[in-house]
Amino acid sequence: MYTTELPGSKNRLSFSMFDTAIGRCALAWTDEGIAALQLPEITPAHTARAVCQRIGDMEAKETAQEPAWVLAVIKDLQRHLSGENRDFSDIPLDLKGVTPFQRRVYEAARGIKPGETRSYGQLAREVGSPGAARAVGRALGANPVALIVPCHRVLGSNGQPTGFSAYGGCQVKLRLLSLEGSRSIRTKGCRSAFLDGAGAGQGSPGLRFHPGKAANCSFDSALAVETLCRSDSHLARLIEQVGPFALELDEMLSPFEALAESIVYQQLTAKAASTIFGRVKAIWGGRALAKPEQILETGPAALAAAGLSRSKAAALRDLSLKQIEGAIPTLAEMQVLNDEEIIERLTAVRGVGRWTAEMFLIFRLGRPDVLPLGDLGVRKGFARTFGKKQLPTPRQLELRGRRWQPFRTVASWYLWRALDLP
């Protein structure tokens, strides 16, 4: 538990981390109530960092001295995430930072019981703001106490499990609803086996979500593979040939450094790019990339001497400038942005196109539903898997890919692997 003084308040703000069936979560509270609940990020360290950002203290450190009432909340959360539905409607909250509209939305959402769902439009009407479905969605996207304010029980008007701010997005939303026994969910082009199974909501081992345990990704790869096999027989045959899904995420110190590395690596072999990137970092005498301000102060001759082309040096300088301006979202901000929003933000940087942004989503963030329509490897893998003499157009690939939602990243990975088959 970590404790600090809230600015302008007599309340102390504390946080603690705890294990659940879906991974390590974090809970923050004051004397008045729960202030934040962080679902698992890609690693426990990311989870701790995310809750620290929510409580506004990046230097916070965890200890373990929870008061009795917080321990009771933690136990209820653990039971709920193991498949034993619990009622969180009477847990006290301390949400001083939210707007009056957000507060109304959260109060209405707390009235949705396990196994039930609402649409964003229905919730908008309940709070007295018909037509404000998008505003309701934004309010729920900023929800600091997921599960306790059950934003995962709010779906699109067509029953689709739309965006979810927790790491893993819609797949986490689907899993939480499955645990609660919800039956009113629709998925695009496929049905989740976990929504059809007899064990939904009963805490069976198959319903557990283990971030990072399968292929180093936040989503359930076993569920993804089973869903793809059910939705596309051609892809099912490819999956049988290739074997287990084994995507490994690349390490990332920050989005800034990851994007800088992507810029350097463009159109080079991995060996040559690694050498050049090492030289670029060595300009400032360290193994890590310099701060954006240092890069902007470095002359083009030094970057050229490290092996950067003029265009890549210009792109690195533009990335540095946009990082200083705050245009590059932080990891915490990316958790509440959908894929297209992240792509839009990243492609504003010189030298970062849509393909680079999509690779960032797949290999850095582990987003589960990315289909890079312009990727030559994916298109070649598609032609081979589906017995086509010509490469598919992006439109043809997009149409077939609708069957693979919400796991198009996994489908893309298998199409890449199709090129390795004899």
Residue 59 included in any domain: yes
Q: What is the CATH number of the domain that holds 268?
A: 1.10.340.30
Within-domain flag for 278: yes
Which parts of the chain have pLDDT scores under 70? Answer: 1-12, 42, 56-64, 157-171, 182-218, 286-287
Closest CA to 15 of 53, 61, 59, 46: 61
Task: Give φ, ψ of 271 to 5 degrees.
Answer: -65, -45
Q: Which residue has the tokens 């010509």?
A: 390
- Residue 23 sits in a domain whose CATH number is 3.30.160
- Kindly state whether residue 57 falls inside one of the protein's structural domains: yes
pLDDT of 115 reads: 84
24 lies in a domain?
yes
Look at the chain and count its residues.
422
pLDDT given at position 170: 67
Q: What is the 3-state secondary structure (H, E, C) of 213-251?
A: CECCECCCHHHHHHHHHHHCHHHHHHHHHHCCCCCCCCC
Pairing of strands 12-20, 2-5: antiparallel
Is residue 282 in some structural domain? Answer: yes
> Of the candidates 60, 80, 100, which is a domain's last residue?
80
Looking at 309, 335, 363, the residue that finishes a domain is 363
In the chain, the number of structural domains is: 2
199 in a structural domain: no
Residue 375 annotated in active site: yes
- For 210, residues 6+ apart whose C-beta sits below 8 A from its C-beta are 22, 23, 220
Give the span between the Cα atoms of 50 and 333, in whole angstroms: 10
Beta strand 154-155 with 118-119: parallel, antiparallel or unpaired? parallel
Question: Which candidate in 94, 318, 369, 375 is catalytic?
Answer: 375
d(CA 262, CA 240): 32
Range of the domain at 338: 255-363
**Cα separation of 331 and 258, whole Å?**
11
Q: Quick check: is 320 in a domain?
A: yes
Written as six digits, the tokens of 381 are 């893998």
Q: Which of 313, 348, 363 is the last residue of a domain?
A: 363
Residue 88 within a domain: no
Per-residue pLDDT tens digits for 134-170: 898 888 888 889 899 998 888 876 666 666 666 666 6
